[in-house]
Amino acid sequence: MIKREKIKDLLNSTAFNTEVTVMGWVRTFRNNQFIALNDGSCMGNIQIVVDFANTNEDLLKRITTGAAIAVKGILVESLGKGQKVDIKANSIEILGDSNAEEYPLQPKKHSLEFLREKAHLRFRTNTFNAVFKVRHALAYAIHQFYNERGFVYMHTPVITASDAEGAGEMFKVTTLDFDKTPRTDDGKVDFSADFFGRATNLTVSGQLEGELAAMAFGQIYTFGPTFRAENSNTTRHLAEFWMIEPEIAFADLENNMQLAEDMMKYVISYALENCKDELAFLNERLLDEEKTKPQQERSELSLIEKLNFCLENEFQRLTYTEAIQILKHSKPNQKKQFKYLIDEWGADLQSEHERYLVEKHFKKPVILTDYPKDIKSFYMRMNDDGKTVAAMDILFPGIGEMIGGSQREERMDMLTKRMEEMNIPQEELWWYLDTRRFGSAPHAGFGLGFERLVLFVTGMTNIRDVIAFPRFPKSAEF
């Protein structure tokens, strides 16, 4: 059995003059004497002191950046600056060689663009060590939050025959031979010959199936991959991403907003408490990045301050109608500085509008409610005014929309009317409509794009840097 100590534990140890075994990857090797070794347990390296005069020369040549090694030695108090402990090596074994001339991650600063091209290796950098440790903590906190509140975790299907959003931008799933695609008499693809006997797609949301479960368990959540075939090459969009989607029975929009705010504060608080080193590193990284920007583009708050700011402030709640009035009379709108000018009620708000409300006007997270029905999905509950629906979006600084949700339309007649208006065939969603036929009840839910949460908490500026292997137009590497 392989026995080793984790570098994270040894860096905080005072058990000096004891023998230890560590294994990891070489970050640097200076003067044939000092190895900076990292094993992924933390961002910090432990220094291995090599007796080069009594070490085989061929072995020394194999201790290169990126090589995997095992070291047995004595833990000693460090005499150098910057570290508390060293390991005086008694023996070194090369577990995996690394060609120094070909290894892409040389000990120097690399751009995030370069590291995206080396996504299979970028985990070995401090930045991505920190990002993915925070991602792990946030995922754990999500499960812990819902578990503590008695929610049931549901796995909804990845392959589906429905389009929950009505957007039509979906990836098709098929086993048909593209070179010999069967056709019907009218020239359309004959999906009856396909694996499932009908057209199927990768899911854009687990919401509809989640509603079915909420009508039995009372409160459920999903946390899984979703897919959008949008041709969006932006810093905020991915073709494959993860979604958290709770659904709660016997709940209205107010319950929904409170659950979402409580969840956001819980997971941010968890990250601040359990990722201190990672967030301190990312905070410094962001401060350095801010220094390169013009003064007017710099953030007023550091990363840590921004996270605490969200914990310390109640989220501002206002209606879409109130927001339109604020935006219409805002300086950027009047001076035509917005790319998309706001001139009338009914406009679909863009990221620039959402960020203005959060960062400039209210200076706190914002929950917008009661959107025009024409810009929202069929399943959202119609308000008494007949013009708006009981929808909500939660807007965060630097991101814009973080969460989208609504009270669901539980009234059968209203739901089928909306489906007719939006040309959504009822026969395809007969199973969804059954929840309105048999014991319907007020219920609500929302969706949180997990990568946007990670983006916010880490302070990264491109969503492709907070998921291990990003999928976007023309890119499906690794």
Look at residue 225 in the predicted model and tell me its pLDDT.
Answer: 96
User: Is 403 inside any structural domain?
Assistant: yes
> Are 160 and 84 in the same domain?
no
Q: How many domains does the chain have?
A: 2
Look at residue 121 in the predicted model and tell me its pLDDT.
Answer: 94
> Are 95 and 140 in the same domain?
no
> Are 293 and 369 in the same domain?
yes
Cα 148 from Cα 30, distance rounded (Å): 50
Of 77, 73, 74, 104, which Cα lies nearest the Cα of 91?
Answer: 73
> Are 215 and 80 in the same domain?
no
Mean pLDDT to the nearest integer, 72-99: 94
> Are 153 and 210 in the same domain?
yes
Measured from the Cβ of residue 106, the count of other Cβ atoms closer than 10 Å reads 12
> Are 154 and 90 in the same domain?
no
pLDDT above 60: residue 11: yes
> Are 100 and 132 in the same domain?
no
Look at residue 367 in the predicted model and tell me its pLDDT.
Answer: 98
Mean pLDDT to the nearest integer, 28-55: 95
The boundaries of the domain holding residue 363 are 124-169+204-465
Look at residue 167 in the predicted model and tell me its pLDDT.
Answer: 56
pLDDT digits (tens, 9 = 90+) for 137-174: 999 999 999 999 999 999 999 999 887 665 568 999 99
User: Is 192 inside any structural domain?
Assistant: no
Mean pLDDT to the nearest integer, 315-336: 96
Look at residue 108 in the predicted model and tell me its pLDDT.
Answer: 86
Specify the residue for token string 């995997």: 68
Strand, coil or helix: 2: coil
Of 130, 365, 150, which Cα lies nearest the Cα of 271?
Answer: 130
Mean pLDDT of the chain: 93
User: Is 215 inside any structural domain?
Assistant: yes
Report the predicted TM-score, pTM, of the whole model to 2 decimal places.
0.93
> Are 143 and 254 in the same domain?
yes
User: Is 86 inside any structural domain?
Assistant: yes
Of 83, 82, 69, 90, which Cα lies nearest the Cα of 17?
Answer: 90
User: Is 470 inside any structural domain?
Assistant: no
> Are 270 and 391 in the same domain?
yes
Look at residue 166 in the predicted model and tell me its pLDDT.
Answer: 56
User: Is 212 inside any structural domain?
Assistant: yes
User: Is 193 inside any structural domain?
Assistant: no
**Contact between residue 118 and residue 105 where contact means Cβ atoms under 8 Å apart:** yes
3-state secondary structure 364-416: CCEEEEEEEHHHCCCCECECCCCCEEEEEEEEECCCEEEEEEEEECCCHHHHH
pLDDT digits (tens, 9 = 90+) for 214-273: 999 999 999 999 999 988 888 878 999 999 999 999 999 999 999 999 999 999 999 999
| Distance, CA of 318 to chain centre | 26
pLDDT digits (tens, 9 = 90+) for 405-417: 999 999 999 999 9
**Contact between residue 432 and residue 424 where contact means Cβ atoms under 8 Å apart:** no
Strand, coil or helix: 70: strand
pLDDT digits (tens, 9 = 90+) for 389-433: 999 999 998 888 999 999 999 999 999 999 999 988 899 899 999
| Distance, CA of 180 to chain centre | 39
**Contact between residue 410 and residue 440 where contact means Cβ atoms under 8 Å apart:** yes
The CATH number that applies at residue 250 is 3.30.930.10
Ranges of beta strands (E only) in 276-387 are: 316-319, 366-372
**Contact between residue 259 and residue 466 where contact means Cβ atoms under 8 Å apart:** no
> Are 242 and 275 in the same domain?
yes
Look at residue 272 in the predicted model and tell me its pLDDT.
Answer: 98
Q: Which of 63, 79, 106 is the last residue in one of the domains?
A: 106
Strand, coil or helix: 446: strand
> Are 320 and 405 in the same domain?
yes
User: Is 179 inside any structural domain?
Assistant: no
> Are 49 and 157 in the same domain?
no
Structure tokens at 58: 């061929």
The CATH number that applies at residue 52 is 2.40.50.140
Measured from the Cβ of residue 47, the count of other Cβ atoms closer than 10 Å reads 18
Query: What is the percent of the chain where pLDDT is above 90?
Result: 82
